[in-house]
Amino acid sequence: MAAPKLGEFERIARYLAPLAAPGGLELLDDVALIDGPPGEQYVLKTDAIVEGVHFLPKDPADQVAQKLLRVNLSDLAGKGAAPVGYLLTTALPRSRNENWLAAFSRGLARDQAEFGIGLLGGDSVATKGPVTLSVAAIGRVRTGTAVLRRGAQPGDLVFVSGTLGDGALGLMALRGKLPRLKTAARRYLADRYRLPRPRLALGQRLVGTAHAMMDISDGLVADLGHICAVSNVAAVIEAEKLPLSPAARAAITFNPKLLLAALAAGDDYELLFTAAPEAATKLAAVGMELGVAVTAIGRVLAGTGVRVRDAKGAPIRVDSGGYRHF
């Protein structure tokens, strides 16, 4: 699921990067900043989801709506921004009937209430293809405080929020590919796939502490690669430190190759950031306070690229295309 998106990103970025506005952020940070009221900047981000790629045709429409909003809110969280509102574009086949639309709207309403945001406008078009949904999310930060991708420094620790791999494993569970898992574990993973938790409160608390940050949507290794590339640094991940949910741990016990779900799959929408080692204690306390695990999983080094090591220090090869073939 995430792999085509990653390929797409690289395929497109080559052509679109030169078009980036000199005033906004470089395209590779994937959000834009524009001046707001005095002392504030708006953070703008757009994310699209496609039926059959990012959600399944049978997924409940209310949860599709929530996922659409949440993947965008997760981008705002990844910059330390507070959400303001969103624009919505829907391309729907005629076959999506009133019931689907009503449920879709209920999902939006539920998350608008949960996250304190409103719909600011949108466009609705017909398509003969799959449901294609796009949101442009608007957040705000105090001027100059947005946490970008480009601030990682050698000596930093690499941190992630929550647990990794649940989203990808949830999709596998929904597709019947994890038959040996207990029902409760399959349900847990499916829920994580369908309803990401944007880490908005944590993201805002990391302003001033995180040197570089983004949310994980293309997969840990790929996204850490993005941070390293624009920060001109390297990173090493200790695989045994990856935070795993009990359900993910059970799945990986049955099939150790599924560790790749935590390393290379998208759909986690957890925060990935780097910070000075001295911040670790404070970060653990913040996570505790907010009820979100914050885990150090590796280090930033001079150099280029991202390496992954197992408990014995041996390299784990993560083929960014590998996830596709699970």
Q: Could you tell me which stretch among 28-36, 173-181, 298-306, 307-315 binds a copy of itself (CB under 8 A)?
A: 28-36
Position 85: which residue type? G
The smaller minimum CB distance to a copy of itself, of residues 133 and 306, is found at: 133
Q: Are 141 and 206 in contact (CB under 8 A)?
A: no
> Which residue in 182, 289, 193 sits closest to 246, CA to CA?
182
* Whole-number Cα distances in Å, 248 to 107, 187, 257, 258, 294: 27, 12, 12, 9, 17
Number of residues assigned to the chain? 326
Q: Are 173 and 190 in contact (CB under 8 A)?
A: yes
Residues 242 to 271: which contact a copy of itself by CB under 8 A?
none
Q: Are 158 and 151 in contact (CB under 8 A)?
A: no
Q: How far is CA 117 from the centre of its chain?
A: 19
Draw the binding track, 136-175, toward a copy of itself (x: CB under 8 A; -: no contact): x-x-------------------------------------
Asked if 84 interacts with a copy of itself (CB under 8 A), we say: yes
Distance separating alpha carbons of residues 237 and 298, to the nearest angstrom? 4
Asked if 201 interacts with a copy of itself (CB under 8 A), we say: no
Residues 108 to 137: which contact a copy of itself by CB under 8 A?
108-109, 112, 117-130, 132, 134, 136
Residues 85 to 104: which contact a copy of itself by CB under 8 A?
85, 87-92, 101-102, 104
**How many Cα atoms sit within 13 Å of 105 on the Cβ side?**
7
The smaller minimum CB distance to a copy of itself, of residues 102 and 288, is found at: 102
Q: Could you tell me which stretch among 45-53, 145-153, 227-235, 294-302 binds a copy of itself (CB under 8 A)?
A: 45-53
The smaller minimum CB distance to a copy of itself, of residues 98 and 278, is found at: 98
Asked if 229 interacts with a copy of itself (CB under 8 A), we say: no
Asked if 77 interacts with a copy of itself (CB under 8 A), we say: no
